[in-house]
Structure 1
Amino acid sequence: MRLLAINGSERARGSTWMAAQRALAHASERGWDTEGVDLAERRVVRCECGRCNSRTDPCPVDDDVADVVRSMIAADAVVFAAPVHGFGLSSLMQTFIERAGVGHLRFERPLTNTIGAAVVIGRRYGHLDVHAQLMHNLLLNRFIVVGSGFPVTIHSGGEEGILSDTEGLDSLRRTVDRIVDIGTALAESGTVLPRPRDAERRVGRTG
């Protein structure tokens, strides 16, 4: 079983990276394989054609988005980790989920029934707004969304950064535990979950 954590911060080794690394380390301790992707170290460019909703083939932009999408499809679980920027989602993560979703994932929804979770890191405000946006994206792509009972929102404004937020880090740990428990149970049971009958291609839209 494999957990993929995607760090959507423009700082490849900042607080969001630290949170993603803690998630990966805990999954590894539970016996899962892990992979981390730092979008700041990948080439992710904005849409260059403006025809996403009318295209019938995947996005032709030559960057690293398709490669990250392949890693998502190969994983059993995906964690989106993103910082709060200006009370909203970081522009890098926003660009990635738009490009990945409209340019690659909408054709067949290949992430259907993959386990997904969201982690949001910020100094003081805006955590829940960003968390909701990431959760909506997980739902759009038909993930099985799991959590600890509380949104994983981690405050980075303490004297020790995210290490000061012991409650937020505990929620992250418990969320990873649920990911591992559910993923392992599904794998061991041999259950094959049904895929949706419609693919929601949204082709033919204009404007």
Structure 2
Amino acid sequence: MKILAINGSERSRGSTWLAAQEVASHAELRGCRTDVINLAEKRVLACDCGACNSRPDPCPVDDSVGEVVAAMIEADAVVFAAPVHGFGLSSLMQTFIERAGVGHLRFTRPLTNTIGAAIVVGRRYGHLDVHAQLLHNLLLNRFILVGSGFPVTIHSGGEQGILSDTEGMDALRRTVDRIIDVGTALIESGTRLPRPEEVERRIGRTG
């Protein structure tokens, strides 16, 4: 299976990047294909058209959001990794999930039944609020959420940065294991989950 980690930090090589790299490294040890996308290295623009909720077609803004969405659709599992900024979600990640959701994903919900998880990195406060926001976004896009039993909230203020938070890093690795266990079971069982368009028809949004 393929796991994609999306680093939503404005610093492309900071603590959140290290967490995303650990997702990839641990998954590769178990034989998965991985990719890490650093949003700081992409062009993610805010939309100012004022018609996002009413337009019937994908967002026309010329940036990298469509490219990242395509990578998400290709993956079997997506992990959002984001830092806490000002007690909330980083502005870059916030812009991305808004643009991706309203501009690209809401038309056909193509990420339905993709496995999803969230990782939050910060010094001391706001982790759970940001984690909840990311989970809500995953639920909105009909991901299958998995976890290790504890939210992956990692403190970055120790002498070794995120590596000082052994409990948080352990939760990260156990969450990756859960992603792989659930994904592998679905693939090996041949279970066919409802396709996005079937879900849309069932809830009366398409003919």
Q: TM-score range by the shorter chain?
A: over 0.9
Residue 200 (structure 2) pairs with residue 197 (structure 1): yes
Q: CA deviation digits over 1:105-156, x for unaligned, max 9?
A: 0000000000000000000000000000000000000000000011000000
Cα distance in 1, alignment partners of residues 163 and 49 from structure 2: 42
Cα distance in 2, alignment partners of residues 186 and 135 from structure 1: 21
Q: TM-score, normalised by structure 2?
A: 0.95
Identity score, percent: 77
Query: What is the letter of the counterpart of residue 107 of structure 2?
Result: F
Query: What is the deviation of 1:159?
Result: 1.0
Q: TM-score, normalised by structure 1?
A: 0.95
Shift in alpha-carbon separation, 1:201–1:165, aligned structure 2, 3 A = farther
Residue 39 (structure 2) pairs with residue 39 (structure 1): yes
SS of alignment partner, residue 181 of structure 1? helix
Shift in alpha-carbon separation, 1:163–1:199, aligned structure 2, 3 A = farther
Q: CA deviation digits over 1:148-189, x for unaligned, max 9?
A: 011000000111110100000000000000000110110011
> Does the aligned pair in 2 maintain the 1:108–1:201 contact within 8 Å?
no
Cα distance in 2, alignment partners of residues 186 and 201 from structure 1: 27
Aligned to 1:110: 110
Residue 16 (structure 2) pairs with residue 16 (structure 1): yes
SS of alignment partner, residue 132 of structure 2? helix
Query: What is the deviation of 1:50?
Result: 1.4
Residue 167 (structure 2) pairs with residue 164 (structure 1): no
Q: Unaligned stretches of 5+ in structure 1?
A: 203-207
Query: What is the deviation of 1:42?
Result: 0.1
Query: What is the deviation of 1:194?
Result: 1.4
Cα distance in 1, alignment partners of residues 182 and 17 from structure 2: 25
> Does the aligned pair in 2 maintain the 1:80–1:118 contact within 8 Å?
yes
Cα distance in 1, alignment partners of residues 161 and 41 from structure 2: 23
Cα distance in 2, alignment partners of residues 132 and 68 from structure 1: 22
Runs of 4+ that moved beyond 2 A: 197-202
